[in-house]
Amino acid sequence: MKLPSLFAGALALTLCSWASAHTVLEYQVATAGQSYKATFKVGHGCGPSPTRQIVVDIPAGVQGAKPMPKAGWRLEVTREKLAQPYTSHGRTITDDITRISWTAKTDDDMLPNGHYDEFVLVGTLPDQNGMIYWPVQQLCAQGRMDWTEIPKTGQNLSDLKSPAAALELMPGAAAGAHNH
């Protein structure tokens, strides 16, 4: 192999990994109307700066979101009154979590740029097929990255500079699914 070809291949791999280096869901397809564990994968900081906070906006129609605590990170949730209440386990739910944030408690708890981590929540997905998007804000010691762009009709996620995490909802009950 010629050296220029090797360099071109390495450059292409670097550019491909940079282009896809945004906050994504571990599983990007799920069954509509089922309980879902949303695992947001964070693979870098803001340039060399470590991540100090992750903020996830819960898509409309996702019910009963519950965040997973992380050692060294403070959890905050934002609740809002629902325009359309729903019933869960025999109770009428009139407000629900619409935003979850994890914030490093100290500088030592921040996620270094060279490390990887996951931020997890569970909730019940809307009972309709199609795409839903989870806007994620990544705040760093210096700078921020807002993974909040949602494609317009005819656009693909790959067309966007800072795409929101995407989840495709499919019909039918998944084998072994636990429906709430």
Strand partners, 101: 55, 76
Q: What is the DSSP string of 62-115?
A: -EEEEEPP-TTEEEEEEEEEEEEEEEETTEEEEEEEEEEEEEESSGGGSB-TT-
pLDDT for res 22: 76
Answer whether residue 144 is part of any domain. yes
Answer whether residue 176 is part of any domain. no
pTM for this predicted structure: 0.83
Distance (Å, whole) CA 20 – CA 66: 27
pLDDT band at 173 (very low <50, low <70, confident <90, very high): low
Distance (Å, whole) CA 150 – CA 159: 10
Q: Which residue has the higher pLDDT, 108 or 9?
A: 108
The domain total for the chain is 1
- The whole domain housing 91 covers 37-170
Task: Tell me which H or E stretch contains 39.
Answer: strand 35-42
Distance (Å, whole) CA 169 – CA 30: 5
Does the pLDDT at position 14 exceed 80?
A: no
The per-residue pLDDT of the chain, averaged, comes to: 87
CATH number of the structural domain spanning residue 161: 2.60.40.2230
Structure tokens at 90: 């025999």
Answer whether residue 32 is part of any domain. no
Instruction: Flag the least confident range among 80-84, 90-94, 155-159.
Output: 155-159
pLDDT for res 9: 37
pLDDT band at 130 (very low <50, low <70, confident <90, very high): very high
Q: What percent of the chain has pLDDT over 70?
A: 84
Direct distance between the N- and C-terminal alpha carbons of the chain, in angstroms, rounded to an integer? 56
For residue 65, count CB atoms less than 10 angstroms from its CB and return exposed for 0-12, middle for 13-18, buried for 19 or more.
buried
Answer whether residue 8 is part of any domain. no
Does the pLDDT at position 26 exceed 70?
A: yes
Answer whether residue 44 is part of any domain. yes
CB contact at 8 A, 174 and 34: yes
Answer whether residue 126 is part of any domain. yes
Tens of pLDDT, residue by residue over 86-111, are: 999 999 999 999 999 999 999 999 99
pLDDT band at 43 (very low <50, low <70, confident <90, very high): very high
